[in-house]
Each structure stands twice: as C-alpha cells, then as structure tokens.
C-alpha cells in the first residue's frame, strides 16, 4: 500500500491502464460517470460518506483516497479477464490466490484474509420466470460476487446478471451517507444485504412453483409428471448450494472483534437473520419436495397395480372362452351335445352368462 501512495502517474501507469481499457479513453472524454472499459462498472472515491465529484481511474482513485483522512475507493468490476484483474491486483496489492478465485468464479461462499485485505465470496441468485414448469425449465440462475475489503478500498467483482449493484450504490450515496462513513465494510454489508434479499425473493417465487407442483400431484387428473418434480428438486439443490454455505462467513463476520466496526456488525447480524430464514425455507422446501416425490412414486405404483388388475380381470374372462374352445376343439367323437342342434347357441349363452357374472364380480371388488 505504501508503494501505491507514492507511485507517480506516468508512462507506466498509462501502459497498465491499457490492459483493461477497451479504447484507451477515459470517461472524461465522453462525459460519462464511469470508464469505457470491459470490466470497470464504476470507480468512486468517498470521503466521510460523500462521493467526490469527477471521474477516476482505479490507480488515481486509490492515490486520492490515500491522501485524505476518512476516504476510501469503491471499485466495481463485472466479469474481468485475468489480464484486467492482474492490473487491478498490482495497484491494490491483492493476493494472487484471491485474484485467481475472482477471475474463475467457481468458489463456495467463504471469508478469507490475505494480510490486511479480506476476501468475501457470495453466490448470487436470480429467479428465471417461466410460463410452465417442464422437465428442462431453469428456475434459479446463480452467479458469484467477490468482495475485496481493504483499509482504503472495497472492490466488488460480479459474475452473472444477478444482484446488480447500481441500485445499492445509488441508495448508499443518496440516503445512507451516514452508513458510508463507516468505510469499506459498510459497502460490504450493503452488497451482502442485497444478495441475501434476493435469496428471500427467489425463495418466495420457488414456493409458488412448489405449490403448483403439489396441486398437480394431488389433483384428480394428476397433471404433474415425475420429471417436473425432479427438475424442481435439482433447481432447489442449486439454490441450496448458494444459500447454506454463506452461514459460516457471516458467523465469522458477526463474531469477529476489531476487524469489522462494531456498528457494521449489527447490520451484518440483520443480514444473518434473513439468511437463517432463507435456509429454513429451503430446508422445508426440500423436505416437502421429497414428500411430493415419494407420493408421486406411490401414485405411479398404485396406477401400475390398477392396470395389472384390469389386465388380469380381462384375461380371466377370456380364459373362460379359451377353455371351452380348447375342449371342443379336441375333435373327439363323443362330445357332449355335439349332435344337438341347439348346442352351439346354448354354449354361447352359457359363456355369455359366465362372462357377465365374472364382470360383475370383478367390478364389485374394484378390479374393473
């Protein structure tokens, strides 16, 4: 960090910035607030909870923050490449292992510390609307959010389309400047709170799909096939992988002493309560889906048994006719009633009577 404060802005800085600028122009050239980059969404310097006017490159923003008391940088990135992330890492002194995780975005929720920098990983979620749940429907879309929290900066790295941070930044700047005065951990709280709030929204919408599945399974026509139940269970497993592992990092944050400001720990406890509620919902959904799946399998078994009973009943009726035909087809010389002219009609009448009696008996016992 000491080297970053005194590093001059010269040719070396310009060469480094070309690594993550798409066309070599800053936002000052087009009047926009952020940078025309492939990964930098926004970069701002905050002093005592208020954003400094003007546009900053990541390097210049850190120098500005290190030169003032109560200042820090909030740098937002979206799906940076390895080269772009390496340039940021050199400027902000990020550990190579954390940088590798931030680029690959294949991590479980966790909290790690690399020197004075904390690395928090979250899984983001988004409900995918669909008109009808099928065996191939995507219900929950997941992504990742990585947060680097240092003494003078907070870097958010987002992968996927879920949990956009523009509303979080706007809310903090316009309505919660007092919270921003707490520094980088205040931003980490706000981002985590938004991610967990999305968990609650997804859980409520998944519950609606679950109700639809349950209604279809237990309706008279039984319109929900097993494939739909299994697909929803798979999506719920994906949702569970995002939600449940976050309990340990939040427990470490709320229980830490001296790392997270005391006031911010209170806010994180509120997030932890929301997460606990979501975990309980997911667990109950999983239990209910297991019950629905078992009930649907039992229904399939019962339906198969009913089909087998019907087949056996009709086979029993056909056996009567087959037995008589087999006896009279033996071509013996002396067969009962073979010389009687009413023998054939009488046989047909007897067989029809037996068929009716068997049908009524089987129908009365629920086999037909």
Q: State the span(s) of the chain assigned CATH 3.30.460.20.
A: 2-298
Every domain range in the chain assigned CATH 1.20.58.340:
301-364
Residue 165 tokens, joined: 């941070």
| Strand ranges in the chain using DSSP code E only, listed in sequence order | 40-47, 50-51, 71-78, 110-114, 117-127, 140-149, 153-159
Would you give the distance in Å from CA 38 to the centre of its chain? Answer: 26
CA distances from 206 to 21, 31, 126, 236, 272 (A): 40, 43, 11, 8, 21
Helices (H), 154-183: 166-175, 177-180
Confidence of residue 340 (pLDDT cuts 50, 70, 90): confident
Q: What own/partner pairs with CB < 8 Å and gap ≥ 24 does 268-274 have?
A: 268/189, 268/192, 270/193, 271/189, 271/192, 271/193, 271/196, 272/247, 274/193, 274/196, 274/197, 274/199, 274/200
**222 Ramachandran zone, left/alpha/beta (phi>0; psi -120 to 50):** left
Q: Would you say residue 33 has pLDDT above 70? A: no
User: Sorting pLDDT into bands at 50, 70 and 90, what band is 304?
Assistant: confident
120-160 pLDDT, tens digit per residue, is 999 999 999 888 877 788 899 999 999 999 999 999 999 98
Share of the chain above pLDDT 70, in %: 85
Contact status, residue 187 vs residue 74, Cβ threshold 8 Å: yes
Q: What percent of the chain has pLDDT over 90?
A: 38
Structural contact between residues 44 and 51, judged by C-beta atoms closer than 8 angstroms: yes
Helix axes of 82-92 and 58-66: crossing angle, nearest 10 degrees: 20
CATH code for the part of the protein at 2-298? 3.30.460.20
Q: Give the CATH number of domain 301-364.
A: 1.20.58.340
* pLDDT at residue 300 tops 70: yes
Most confident of 132-136, 180-184, 229-233: 180-184
């Amino acid at each position: 960090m000491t080297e970053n404060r005194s590093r001059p802005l010269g040719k070396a800085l310009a060469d480094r910035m070309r690594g993550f600028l798409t066309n070599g122009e800053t936002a000052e050239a087009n009047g926009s607030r952020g940078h025309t980059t492939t990964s930098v969404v926004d970069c701002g310097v905050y002093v005592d909870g208020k954003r400094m006017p003007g546009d900053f490159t990541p390097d210049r923003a850190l120098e500005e923050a290190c030169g003032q008391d109560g200042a820090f940088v909030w740098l937002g990135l979206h799906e940076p490449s390895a080269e772009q992330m390496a340039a940021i890492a050199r400027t902000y002194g990020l550990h190579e292992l954390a940088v590798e995780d931030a680029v690959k975005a294949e991590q479980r929720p966790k909290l790690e510390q690399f020197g004075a920098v904390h690395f928090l990983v979250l899984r983001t979620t988004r409900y995918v609307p669909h008109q009808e749940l099928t065996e191939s429907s995507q219900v929950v879309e997941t992504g990742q959010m990585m947060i680097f929290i240092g003494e003078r900066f907070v870097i958010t790295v987002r992968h996927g389309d879920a949990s956009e941070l523009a509303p979080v930044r706007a809310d903090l700047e316009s309505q919660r400047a007092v919270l921003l005065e707490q520094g980088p951990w205040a931003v980490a709280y706000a981002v985590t709170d938004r991610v967990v709030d999305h968990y609650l929204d997804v859980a409520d919408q998944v519950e609606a799909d679950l109700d639809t599945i349950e209604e279809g399974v237990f309706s008279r026509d039984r319109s929900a096939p097993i494939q739909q139940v299994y697909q929803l269970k798979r999506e719920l497993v994906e949702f569970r992988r995002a939600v449940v592992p976050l309990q340990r990092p939040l427990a470490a944050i709320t229980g830490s002493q001296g790392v997270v400001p005391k006031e911010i720990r209170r806010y994180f406890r509120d997030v932890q309560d929301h997460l606990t509620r979501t975990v309980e919902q997911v667990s109950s959904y999983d239990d209910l889906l297991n019950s629905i799946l078992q009930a649907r399998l039992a229904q399939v078994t019962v339906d198969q048994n009913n089909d087998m009973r019907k087949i056996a009943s009709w086979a029993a009726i056909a056996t009567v006719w087959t037995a008589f035909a087999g006896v009279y087809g033996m071509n013996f010389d002396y067969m009962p009633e073979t010389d009687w002219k009413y023998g054939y009609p009488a046989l047909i009448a007897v067989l029809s009577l037996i068929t009716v009696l068997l049908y009524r008996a089987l129908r009365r016992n629920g086999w037909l």
